Amino acid sequence: MKEDMFRVGVITSTHGLAGEVKVFPTTEEPARFLDLDTVCVGTEDDRRELTIDKVRFFKQFVILHFQGLERIEDVTGFLKKDLWIRRDQALPLEEGEYYIPDLIGLKVWDDQGRLLGVLTDVLQTGANDVYAVQRGDGTELLIPVIKDCILNVDLEAGTVTVHLLPGLEDLN
């Protein structure tokens, strides 16, 4: 099932006394906050929508101010809370790109028809992503997301087909 909300950041602290918060972005494009009018703050089960009226950047953080929240006391309850956006607010994908929440839970098969396990995480390493696959025996298999290894992703069927390079299974 496709997620309807994506996490784009975590509120780490307040910033000053005028209701601003410091956000650690969990999106690949922190500048995307400039294009957002609203975000939801809270947990997956309990979220509150807020209107963004000011965005600026400080080091690796995004500083946000929300409409109607003018004092530090108005935002202290948001500390350590996640920021979420709706799927329709997400950045568009290029061909062959996928939203991470859509990949989690897919069954991973090798090109010989052998079920390897379930995709449980996508590790973003910088050079290329790595799919973490939980095997039936409880071990984890790490598969680099490169064209030689990832042959097909079929979200409709709920599957990923991979080619395991020689020795890859022995590394895990």
Residue 144 tokens, joined = 């680099």
- Tokens standing for residue 140: 């984890």
Is the pLDDT at 10 greater than 70? The verdict is yes
pLDDT in tens, 35-90: 999 999 998 778 999 999 999 999 999 999 999 999 999 999 999 999 999 989 98
- Let me know the angle formed at the C-alpha of 134 by 132 and 135, rounded to the nearest 5 degrees: 130
Q: Is the pLDDT of residue 112 over 50?
A: yes
**Of the residues 68, 89, 110, which one is the last residue of a structural domain?**
89
Q: Do 70 and 117 lie in a common domain?
A: no
Q: How many CB atoms lie within 10 A of CB 130?
A: 17
List the CATH number of the domain containing 19. 2.40.30.60
In a domain, 39, yes or no: yes
| 157 shares a domain with 113 | yes
**Within-domain flag for 159:** yes
SS3 9: strand
Domain of 69, in residue numbers: 5-89
Q: Is residue 94 part of a domain?
A: no
Judgement on whether residues 13 and 85 belong to the same structural domain of the protein: yes
Q: Domain boundary residue among 67, 89, 111?
A: 89
Residue 1 pLDDT level (bands cut at 50, 70, 90): very low
Give residue 68's identity as a one-letter amino acid code: G
Specify if 149 maps to a domain: yes
Token pair in block for residue 5: 């909300």
pLDDT tens digits, residue range 113-122?
999 999 999 9
CATH (domain of 133): 2.30.30.240
Chain-wide mean pLDDT for the chain? 92
Overall domain count for the chain: 2
Same domain, 104 and 127: yes
Phi, psi of 169 (to 5 degrees): -65, -25
Out of 81-85, 92-96, 110-114, 149-153, which region has the weakest mean confidence (pLDDT)? Answer: 92-96
Q: Is 12 within a domain?
A: yes
Are 120 and 58 part of one and the same domain?
Answer: no
